[in-house]
Amino acid sequence: MSPEPGDHHLGVMGALARRLSQRKTTEGAGMQQIAGVDAALFAEAAGFGEAAGAQGLTLHETLLGWAERATGPENFVVGAQVALGWVEGEAARRFSESVHDRATGLPTDAYLRLRLDEVYRRCRALAMSPAHAYALVVIRRSRIAGAPPFTPEEEHVVADLVRSHFLAETVAANGPGSVVVLMERTPTLFDEVVALDHLLEEAVGSSHRFRTWIETLPGDRAYVDSLLRDLRVLPPEMEAPLDAVGRPRLTLVPGEPDALLLDWYGGSGGVLGLSLAEWQVPAVDSLVEAVRDQREPGAALARLGAARRHQGFGVAEVLLDFGALLDALPPARRARLDTFDTVRALTTPWSHASGTDGLASCVDALTGLASPPYLRERVAEIDRRCERLGVRAEDAFALVHVALLGDQPDRFARLGDRIAVAERLRAAFEHGETIALAAKDRFVAVAALDATLPRQVERLRSLVAEQVPRAAVHVGPLHLDGS
């Protein structure tokens, strides 16, 4: 479910101050006096975070650095501004990064996971079963005793063979010695895999040195990450097939959701655009239990930050999601969580997840949209597919651009504009289209040139005009202009 535009577009920090700390803005003071912190400290905190992010410091290092030098209030809102400043600096640093695995030259497993997100959104919008519409073809070096491992040269040979054989599909590395192909199920799928088997046998000398098989996509996107880990870690000879219908959902709060959980979801669901089942990850249950039992919440906050990061949300959305919990708590319990340490616990695991699982190069940290490096690879993939099918990419796809025009000197309004544009792109393009940041203040959706595109563009223009008047929308060919 895509988020519908709301009325919270007051600049990111205005929204955070209102939703997270429950303190009212001083009448007539605007951004000069929010949550008891003046605008100069806001700017100093955000500027500190931005400089640290641009220098390549982690969010953990940035928050520790601010805590050591800060002389003013250290509440949740100030910590949030340090984190959002870091996001802006870190995003600028990552514009030129690659989404390719160094060993094989293929896109990384993080790229594959983001493509799978698009596939599942498409299946949900069109009421299709992912298990019936798509499949994963897995090629992995064998772990049978006595089978020699691939040399680096053989790793490249295997990667090149798979890429050329499945030229029109998403081909990605899934850890050392493992390649995964995401492709639509067709009547020729089995024959194509058999043909690839023969090519690989000729290339590496023995069929005992690799395994090739077709894996069914789980019915629920929540199980895909564990599936990819299983395919990378477990020997196929010992691996039981995953149930495409789905395993029992883990929950730490048995029975019906309690009042606190529902109040939290009531404030957060519109921000994240998730159904209750999607929103209530196990980390949510852990934090509700910790708050209810008045236990130290640090571990539960860490789990929530990492879980939301793996769901593809940006830092601002993670903070606003948690802010809805603060809104739902009585003042005595809220005071224990309305601290700078809460920001550190909530966002540091999120930062660590982005740095270690490869998602940082694929996802824009502020908006949660796909990154420019991801966009470049996705457009190249579409070009290859169109070439194989004998059609011009410009005749089959378009880029829908949203550009923020003019200069916005207010940092928080500027960040708010970017988040608002991202939300409205998600609302207008719900069928699994690639939605990405193309440049600092330019966003795109890669959309099929079909009968639905004019309606999608008109809806986007209407949504953008309501809340982001300095944004301009136009449709162009599938060409990135070197961005």
63 is written with which tokens?
């928050």
CB neighbour list of residue 473: distance below 8 Å, 6 or more residues apart: 400, 401, 402, 457, 460, 461, 464
The listed CATH number (3.40.190.10, 3.30.70.270, 3.40.50.10470, 3.40.640.10) that belongs to domain 109-238: 3.30.70.270
pLDDT in tens, 101-135: 888 889 988 899 999 999 999 999 999 999 899 99
pLDDT of residue 397: 94
Calpha distance 323→327 (Å, rounded):
6
pLDDT of residue 9: 30
150 is written with which tokens?
């691939």
The 3-class secondary structure across 305-372, one letter per residue, is HHHHHHCCCCHHHHHHHHHHHHHHCCHHHHHHHCCHHHHHHHHHHHHHHHHHCCHHHCECCCCCCECH
pLDDT of residue 22: 36
pLDDT of residue 277: 78
43 is written with which tokens?
């700017």
Residues of the chain within CATH 3.30.70.270 domain(s) are 109-238, 372-477
CB neighbour list of residue 1: distance below 8 Å, 6 or more residues apart: 273, 274, 275, 278
Kindly indicate whether the domain formed by 372-477 is annotated with CATH number 3.30.70.270. yes
The secondary structure of residue 107, as a DSSP letter, is B
pLDDT of residue 206: 64
CB 415 within 8 A of CB 366: yes
pLDDT of residue 447: 94
pLDDT of residue 357: 53
* E strand segments, 95-242: 134-141, 170-173, 178-184, 210-216
Residues of the chain with pLDDT under 50: 1-36, 145, 234-257, 353-356, 482-483
pLDDT of residue 120: 93
